[in-house]
Amino acid sequence: MKAHQAEYPIATLCRVLGVSTSGYHAWQKRPASRRLQRNSRLSERIRTIHAQSRGTYGMPRIHAELRDQGVNVGRKRVARLMRQAALAGVSRRKGFKTMVRDRAARVAPDRVERQFTAATDRLWVADITYIPTAARF
Supply the pLDDT for residue 133.
75
Supply the pLDDT for residue 10.
86
135 pLDDT higher than 90: no
Supply the pLDDT for residue 28.
86
CA–CA distance, 11 with 5 (Å, rounded to integer): 10
DSSP string across 78-114: HHHHHHHTT------PPP--S----TTSPPPP-SSTT
Domain ranges in the chain?
A: 1-30, 32-91
Average pLDDT over residues 91-116: 71
Q: Which tens digit of pLDDT belongs to each residue from 38-90? A: 999 999 999 999 999 998 999 999 999 999 999 999 999 999 999 999 999 88
Answer yes or no: are the C-beta atoms of 76 and 84 closer than 8 Å. no
Stated pTM of the model: 0.54
CA–CA distance, 30 with 98 (Å, rounded to integer): 57
